A and B are shown apart, each in its own frame.
Chain A
Amino acid sequence: AQSVAQPEDQVNVAEGNPLTVKCTYSVSGNPYLFWYVQYPNRGLQFLLKYITGDNLVKGSYGFEAEFNKSQTSFHLKKPSALVSDSALYFCAVRVLSNFGNEKLTFGTGTRLTIIP
């Protein structure tokens, strides 16, 4: 079975400081990893994904994530936080099911608050 852990329910960062939102995963096989962001009363928006290749993935709004196979982690990062980055962030992992269909397993989410 596949699973995702986001160990921090809440992360507070001062505006202008670097931010990290942590994610670890457990899968059998090669993982496909995703980050999504959810603003209040909105659906999830795709930020970035790792499939293969370079371990550092760049995505929308200046975010990036680093895939670390030995630590089974996929932490989300940004060099300088903005107040507008305040939102709920979800990490997700995908493994092909028996029928070749896509199933995503989500973490429980991390609420990021950027303090002015």
Chain B
Amino acid sequence: DAGITQSPRHKVTETGTPVTLRCHQTENHRYMYWYRQDPGHGLRLIHYSYGVKDTDKGEVSDGYSVSRSKTEDFLLTLESATSSQTSVYFCAISDPPGGITDTQYFGPGTRLTVL
């Protein structure tokens, strides 16, 4: 999975609790992304980062926040988890467009269940 790890791989939590998912890369790619995968929707972009401390919203960002304090780590936080956030979350990395590796490569995913 292209030098990308996600932790935890599985998590069950209760409604209203905070949750943080971590994505760690060893490829030194500048861009990092968080997606969620749901049946019938494919993958939808939550947030992305184009550099340390540089982040922006994707199409389904409500209820999520992110932080990137160093190149290798990109954190996704659900401040107060809801059942609608039950999903599989994927992290991806890439070089900038036109870079050597401008294709996005994906991590193994985190399955989150909110009860």
Q: Are B108 and A101 in contact (CB under 8 A)?
A: no
Given contacts A42-B108, A43-B1, contact A101 B42 (CB under 8 A): no
15 pairs from A and B in contact (CB 8 Å cutoff)? A41-B109, A42-B109, A43-B90, A44-B106, A45-B106, A49-B103, A90-B43, A94-B97, A99-B56, A101-B96, A102-B31, A102-B94, A103-B45, A107-B42, A108-B41
Count chain B residues whose beta carbon lies closer than 8 angstroms to a beta carbon of A: 26
Q: Which 4 pairs of residues, A with B, have the shortest CB-CB distance?
A: A43-B106, A106-B42, A44-B106, A108-B42
Separation in Å of the B88 CB from the closest CB of chain A? 9
Q: Are B90 and A101 in contact (CB under 8 A)?
A: no
Interface membership of A100, Cβ < 8 A? yes
Separation in Å of the A98 CB from the closest CB of chain B? 10
Separation in Å of the B53 CB from the closest CB of chain A? 15
Using a Cβ cutoff of 8 Å, how many contacts connect chains A and B? 56
Instruction: Return the contact of A100 from the options B41, B97, B106 (Cβ within 8 A).
Output: B97
A binding-site residues for B, Cβ under 8 Å: 34, 36, 41-46, 49, 90, 94, 96, 99-104, 106-109
Q: Are B50 and A99 in contact (CB under 8 A)?
A: yes
Q: Are B108 and A104 in contact (CB under 8 A)?
A: no
Q: Are A96 and B97 in contact (CB under 8 A)?
A: yes
Question: Which residues, 92 to 115 on B, are CB-close (under 8 Å) to A?
Answer: 92, 94, 96-97, 102-109
| Extra 13 A-B pairs, beta carbons < 8 Å, given A96-B97, A101-B50 | A42-B108, A43-B90, A43-B108, A43-B109, A44-B90, A44-B92, A94-B97, A99-B56, A101-B96, A101-B97, A102-B102, A104-B45, A104-B104
B binding-site residues for A, Cβ under 8 Å: 1, 4, 31, 40-45, 48, 50, 56, 58, 90, 92, 94, 96-97, 102-109
Chain B residue at minimum C-beta to C-beta distance from A101: B50
Q: Are A101 and B1 in contact (CB under 8 A)?
A: no
Which residues from B are CB-within-8-Å of A109?
42
Separation in Å of the B65 CB from the closest CB of chain A? 19
